[in-house]
Amino acid sequence: MQVDTSKARPCRKRLAIGLALCAAALSMSTEAQTYPAKPIKLIVSFPPGGPTDIVARITAQRMTEGLGQQVIVENRPGAGGTLGAELAAKAPGDGYTLLLGTISTLGVAPSVYPHLAYDPRKFAPISLLTNAYFVIGANAAQVPNTLQEFIAAAKAAPGKFNFASNGVGNITHIGGELFNMMAGVKLVHIPYKGSAPAAADVAAGRAQVQFDVLPAFQMHITSGKVKILAVAGPKRDPRLPDVPTTAEAGLPKFVISAWFALVASPGTPDPIMRRLNAEVVRGLSTNEAHEAILKIGMEPAPGTPEQLSALIAEENARWPAIVKAAGVTLD
């Protein structure tokens, strides 16, 4: 008698798939329990010595202590920070390659680079690290004393005032274009290779304003050559108690957060991602880390992977219309 095996084949197939999934889950669980078994690479998309690098090294030191394996910072600058992000995106999703992401590389880049080689939303989110809101720095001699007066002067003379940025497509550039749109003015963009040379030219009067974090202007504020017109955040900066927020000055929607975050290569298992998150939150909660971050003008802001994922999605949705209206594109 011939046995009909046609009905048995789907069952066997489902059994085989089920066994494979169980094996994969067991392997992933075992991997998470033994993780990390070797040093971890943390890619920083900007040169050594800057705020991004400093935050990365503070984070790496604290994670090393908790994980029992060295977290090694590797600086890979280039292409406005997207080079390092691309390297992290193409690395295996095993938890051994991390990226110190910024609002520029994870939030704004998809709107600026039409052929970006990575999708920020596909990284495994670990945690927000730090946050700092932009301020509007201005030449003390050439710009009126209040934001309202400056906007009025800029409207009366389109093209008279310049704004300095860290480079074309950087958040400091896009932020200036956003200001143009919201204030109804036409400030002329002048790109530089970083915050320091940009601020130096604002202090010298070769540019009149700059949208950046407070530490960029500190030495020029001390010398009296730069003044702060407003804080582009939800509340006043305690270091500048007399400086209004942009909302108080009449631009309630002009808010820019220069955040840093930690992500892992796409495909990193959830248990590993959670382990890394726990170490980041623990590490940045120490007094030493807290003080070191405050010293460079930022605030520690660790949170959950879900919060970071939502932030990246929010930024990705916010900037395309602004970038398009400003006519900013890079390839």
Asked if 52 and 123 sit in the same domain, the reply is: yes
- 229 in the Ramachandran plot: left (φ > 0), alpha (ψ -120 to 50) or beta? alpha
Distance CA 199, CA 179 (A): 18
Q: What is the pLDDT of residues 46-83, one digit of tens each?
A: 888 878 889 999 999 999 999 999 999 999 988 878 99
Query: pTM of the predicted model, to two decimals?
Result: 0.80
Q: Residue 105: give the domain boundaries.
A: 37-131+258-326
* DSSP symbols for 92-156: -SSSSEEEEEEIIIIIIHHHH-TT-S--GGGSEEEEEEEE-B-EEEEETTTS-SSHHHHHHHHHH
Asked if 127 and 262 sit in the same domain, the reply is: yes
Residue 244 belongs to a domain: no
The model's confidence at residue 32, banded by pLDDT at 50, 70 and 90, is low
Q: With CA atoms as reference, report the closest residue to 162 among 203, 202, 212, 215.
A: 202
The model's confidence at residue 264, banded by pLDDT at 50, 70 and 90, is very high
Asked if 192 and 142 sit in the same domain, the reply is: yes
Residue 14 belongs to a domain: no
CATH number at residue 287: 3.40.190.150
What is the β-pairing status of strands 71-75 and 40-44? parallel
CATH number at residue 201: 3.40.190.10
Q: What is the pLDDT of residues 83-125, one digit of tens each?
A: 999 999 999 999 999 999 999 999 999 999 888 999 999 999 9
Q: What is the pLDDT of residues 137-151, one digit of tens each?
A: 999 999 999 999 999
Angle, in degrees to the nearest 10, between helices 270-284 and 51-67? 110
Using DSSP, how many helices (H) and how many strands (E) does the chain show?
Answer: 11, 11
- Yes or no: say if 122 and 116 are a contact pair by the CB < 8 Å rule: no
Domain count, the chain: 2
Asked if 108 and 183 sit in the same domain, the reply is: no
Q: What is the pLDDT of residues 299-308, one digit of tens each?
A: 999 999 999 9
- Yes or no: say if 138 and 153 are a contact pair by the CB < 8 Å rule: no
Q: Which pLDDT belongs to residue 76?
A: 92
Residue 219 belongs to a domain: yes
Distance CA 260, CA 293 (A): 12
Distance of CA 166 to the CA centre of its chain: 14
Residue 247 belongs to a domain: no
Q: Which pLDDT belongs to residue 22?
A: 45
| φ/ψ (deg, to 5) at 121 | -75, -15
The model's confidence at residue 14, banded by pLDDT at 50, 70 and 90, is low
| Out of 151-160, 164-173, 206-215, 280-289, least confident range | 164-173
Q: What is the pLDDT of residues 200-235, one digit of tens each?
A: 999 999 999 999 999 889 899 999 999 999 999 999
With H, G, I as helix, E, B as strand and everything else as coil, classify residue 43.
strand
Distance of CA 309 to the CA centre of its chain: 12
